[in-house]
Structures are given as C-alpha cells and as structure tokens.
Amino acid sequence: MNDKNQDRDVFTAIADPTRRTLLRLLADAEELPLHELTPHFQMGRTAVSKHLAILREAGLVADRKVGRETRYRLNAAPLQEIKDWVSFYEKFWYEKVALLKDLLGEE
C-alpha cells in the first residue's frame, strides 16, 4: 500500500465483483446515496453498505452526510497502484509478443 492512511489493500477491495460494480456505478455519477445503489444488487442495504465500507477503507470511496443520508463518490486515485502493476506486465507481454514475431519472421 502506498498511502499510509489506507487500512485495506486496494487489490483486495476490488477483488469482489460487487465492489467493482459499485465503483463503476459511482464512476458514472457525481455522488449516489445508498438507496440508489442498492437496487443494482440482489442483496440488502446492509450488505451493500458493508461493501462500501471496504471500498472506503481502501480509499476508493469517499462519503459525506447530507441530513440523514450518506452520499458516496468515487476516489479513483488509489486505482493508480493497480494501473502501475498491470502496466508492468503489459510491457512484459509486448516484449514477448515482439520476440515471438521476430522468431516467426526468421522461419
């Protein structure tokens, strides 16, 4: 983990498909309250809220109270760690494919 304020690993946080869907929904909106996120899943508000808590602990979601309602928004900055990790392997595969093309071109 790069950010010393993160309690939970970003990779662990996005490992669950429900949490990835939550991130996608939040990416498409400025802010969303729990009652607008819950209908997208076959689970109750409490379960969705627990997933949001995991995302919040990883720094991927921020929240703010508006009256009695909590609104959630995406904080995509921690996803840079994943992008960097994937980029390393992307470079690896580009090099291997180029080598394979060279080898096939020689035959």
C-alpha atoms less than 13 angstroms from C-alpha of 26 in its C-beta half-sphere: 23
- Check: CB of residue 33 under 8 Å from CB of residue 71: yes
Span 74-103, pLDDT tens digits = 999 999 999 999 988 888 888 888 888 888
What are the structural domains of the chain? Answer: 10-76 (1.10.10.10)
Q: What's the token pair of residue 68?
A: 């009695």
Q: Which amino acid belongs to residue 21? A: T
Out of 25-29, 35-39, 40-44, 90-94, least confident range: 90-94
- Indicate the pTM of the whole model: 0.79
CA 78 to chain CA mean position, Å:
8
